[in-house]
Structure 1
């Protein structure tokens, strides 16, 4: 990834990924607007739209950590258009119940305004996630 302006929408999104990777939910919440809308794709185990920084971390990140070992989102490629940041990424993890690995490609669409993430939408092959979570 090339150099990104510290105040840019892409750099804010990058800080969110780094906080997630470090398990630093406080730092992750600091990247989210108070009225954030965070949407996990239909068919994903945590499908739905979550609001507020605490709502996002308690309903998404904490639940992923409870069900999966080593859950990580790897932010590979950024495509930026103004306030829109699309990240082509990968999830890696191992399901705690089945022991199956999860290597899946994803796309994340962030909207950044006023230096905070105001909207997130996940796109993922939910069948691969379901297969890893099913015995």
Structure 2
């Protein structure tokens, strides 16, 4: 019998929840993205990153992070390459690609994301990336 992953859309498995977040983000579907986040989510963008800080609530995350990235960058995408799962912890090795709207300069930078998933929702997120490469693209 072949295993069919028919319940991906509703699965509460931590890796599936995280994967849905990436798919929603890439599609620009902020409503679907918010559906993966816990009401008390803590979402931290790395110090040195343009949007550095910790954001709370699903609306707070999408308005302060995804919507701002969409204003400053064309085609901002996090490509999720490798998943490392340990219980409720999901670490994703990925890369960002985008083109800065102000300078026209592209980025292609490696990133690691650490998610904590509890009860089928993302409760914590922390980003690790080379912030200097991102800043360089923003300043011609």
Structures share a fold, TM > 0.5? yes
Question: Which structure would you say has the larger Rg?
Answer: 2
Question: Could you state the TM-score of these two structures normalised by the residue count of structure 2?
Answer: 0.92
Q: Where in structure 2 are there 5+ consecutive unaligned residues?
A: none
User: C-alpha offsets along residues 8-55 of structure 1, whole Å, 9 cap, x if unaligned?
Assistant: 100000000000011000000000000000000000000000000000
Question: Which one of the candidate residues 20, 23, 29 is aligned to 1:24?
Answer: 29
> Does structure 1 residue 120 correspond to structure 2 residue 122?
no
**Contact persistence 2:12–2:119 (CA under 8 A):** no
| 1:29-83 per-position Cα deviation (integer Å, ceiling 9, x unaligned) | 0000000000000000000000000000000000000000000000000000000
RMSD between aligned alpha carbons? 1.2
What is the CA–CA distance in structure 1 between the aligned matches of 2:89 and 2:24, rounded to whole Å? 20
1-structure distance, mates of 2:81, 2:139: 27
Runs of 4+ in 1 over 4 A off after TM superposition: none
**TM-score of the pair, normalised by structure 1:** 0.96
* 1:7, distance to aligned residue in structure 2 (A): 2.9
Contact 2:83-2:93 within 8 A present in 1 as well: yes
Aligned match of 2:104 in 99, 103, 117? 99
Distance in 1, matches of 2:71 and 2:24, equals 18
Q: Where does 1:52-91 land on structure 2 (aligned, <5 Å)?
A: 52-91=57-96
Between Structure 1 and Structure 2, how many residues are aligned? 133
